[in-house]
Amino acid sequence: MTYHTTLDRAVAAAAAAAGGYGAWSAERRRDLLHACADALEAARPELVDLAWAETALTRERLDGEITRTTGQLRLYGDHVAAGRHLSGRTSPGAAPGGADVYTVDVPLGPVAVFAASNFPFAFGVPGGDTASALAAGCPVVVKGHPAQLRLSRRIAEVLSGAVAGAGAPEGTFGFLDAESTDGDPNKLSIDLVRHPVIKAVGFTGSFGGGRALMDAAAARPEPIPVYAEMGSVNPVFVLPGAVADEAGREKWATALATAVTGSGGQLCTKPGVVFVPETDDGETLADLAASRIGGAGPIPMLTAGMAAAHRRWSEQNQARGASGQEADPRDGLPFAVRISAKDFTGDYREEHFGPATVFVQADPADYPALADSLEGQLTATIIADDASDADRSAARALLPSLVAKAGRVVWNGVPTGVAVVEAMQHGGPWPATSAAWSTSVGTEAIRRFTRPVALQGVPADLVG
């Protein structure tokens, strides 16, 4: 069977399911999402083993990620069952002739979802895009990730069983194996987005991949939205008061090193650029953090290709601060680069996937201008001494620039670790994402896959 046949069957089934599943009550959708969470929970030991074998992420990290994913499924189900995803706008008697106007939110239709590699559960086959589309009443067609073939297939089997057991129409959950590409790994993705049945796209990955999907979606006879999360450097701005004593320097050196090396630095929220004061205290912080980053030793990365790309970036920066021993083909060697603000140009401003970061020594008075010079970001962080009037004044001057550039601003923390809560915004201005107003984490993610319809004078009892 060619991949064209597989693709056509999956999207045809999704199209056939759209009307029936879209008419389901929110309570039935909640029950389906809870059933998916329960099925993943039951398969937890097997799924952790498969994920560990294919990703080299730690079992503890993967186990925690399953907990996050099942919690996300249940949260979204409960959210829609409570009607909290609905806009609920009403204008009684406001239309000509005194007719009432009120809005209802309807599902867009079949959604194409692309599983990410760095979060095999939370952003993979059962991740936030799948969960939010199903919560919105949309069938999904999920393309597995080529780096996790066995895991993707097994998760798809688990979810397919749960969706069928919940009584959903056939085609409510569809899966496309990343291996069925006829030798071209990108063609299946583009053809899926171009298929006229698909009404929206959820994607987490590289800028190049996201842009290719956006271009394909825009070139369709009927253009469709692509919600692409494509990463960023997630700048951290360290203010002088936070590192004015040894305890502060030790605390933040450890926190930053852990954020850079955790999960092999393969997180879209990894702090890729850290601005430190061009003072002795700032230099000491950078020295401590760089030493702890380099001391982490080689870290297995998701794929040999990603490790090779990381190695090339390291070699390009050897003369500018990177050093270390040879690593195995799949390992990434952690390192930190130290530069001055005048050298903060070129690839230092671009996202680097792997356990590395760039420390930029700068005058804190220049932080707002440096922030203004950045592209759109998923996150931006301020590290400050809460009790320092000088730090608070500097933060007040810096915050407008960070709010303009980032989807989430963190105070005295690190940007890694995104809480799955109602108020979370995991998105940001271009090129961090394709839609700065949207989020791929938190209950607001559901709105991406619905559209409002205004009903004027229509009797409410006629609306299901």
How far, in Å, CA of 19 to CA of 282, rounded?
59
Residue tagged active-site, from 54, 65, 138, 229: 229
Helix, coil or strand: residue 276 = strand
Residue tagged active-site, from 268, 278, 350, 422: 268
Which burial class, exposed, middle or buried, applies to 8 when counting CB atoms under 10 A from its CB (0-12, 13-18, 19+)?
A: middle
| Whole-Å CA distances, 144 to 127, 151, 181, 188 | 11, 9, 12, 11
| Whole-Å CA distances, 24 to 20, 135, 139, 425 | 7, 10, 12, 28
Phi and psi (nearest 5°) for 359?
-95, 125
| Whole-Å CA distances, 293 to 105, 150, 160, 260 | 48, 32, 42, 7
Please list the alpha-helical segments (H only) found in 262-338: 280-294, 304-316
* Strand ranges, E, within 323-431: 331-332, 335-340, 356-362, 377-383, 406-411
Helix, coil or strand: residue 177 = coil
The continuous run of DSSP H or E covering 277 comes out as strand 273-277
How far, in Å, CA of 383 to CA of 378, rounded?
17
**Among 282, 240, 270, residue whose Cα is nearest residue 384:** 240
Give strand pairing partners of 176. Answer: 143
268 is catalytic: yes
DSSP 8-state class, residue 121: T
HSE-CB for 175 with a 13 A CA cutoff: 24
How far, in Å, CA of 141 to CA of 193, rounded?
10
Per DSSP bridges, beta strands 101-107 and 90-91 are antiparallel
Residues composing the chain:
464
How far, in Å, CA of 331 to CA of 334, rounded?
10
**CB 134 within 8 Å of CB 125:** no
Phi and psi (nearest 5°) for 211?
-65, -35
Q: How many CB atoms lie within 10 A of CB 211?
A: 15
HSE-CB for 188 with a 13 A CA cutoff: 28
229 is catalytic: yes
Hey, which residues are catalytic here? 229, 268
